[in-house]
Amino acid sequence: MLLLASVGLLDGMRATTHFASLRRLQDTFPRVKVLRSQRFIDNGKILTSGGGIAGIDVTLHLVQRLQGRELADRIAARLHYAWDGWLGETALLPTLSEIA
């Protein structure tokens, strides 16, 4: 996300990233609307995710958007990955203080 933000691609957009980089993203790029507890954000052409496993979620979301829910569900099943495509970006991540 930092690279996208550094060239202005996230200006005025909502974005998220790995929790360890959220503050840096917010402090360094104030024109980016950083959402701290979203698993992923879909801005149309640009999608951002909150880390490794959230990357699977955003990938399945993109497959669903481009090719349909059935294919996304089949891929998730093949990965043995519990995924609910309807949660999308409304699925909230716990904050670091809730984990620690």
Domains of the chain with bracketed CATH: 2-84 (3.40.50.880)
**pLDDT of 4 strictly over 90:** yes
Cβ-based neighbour number of residue 99 at 10 Å: 8
Task: Give the pLDDT of residue 51.
Answer: 84
- Whether the CB-CB separation of 39 and 21 falls below 8 Å is answered with no
pTM: 0.77
Each residue's pLDDT tens digit, 47-92: 999 988 889 999 999 999 999 999 999 999 999 998 876 555 554 5
> Tokens standing for 35?
């959402």
Share of the chain above pLDDT 70, in %: 84
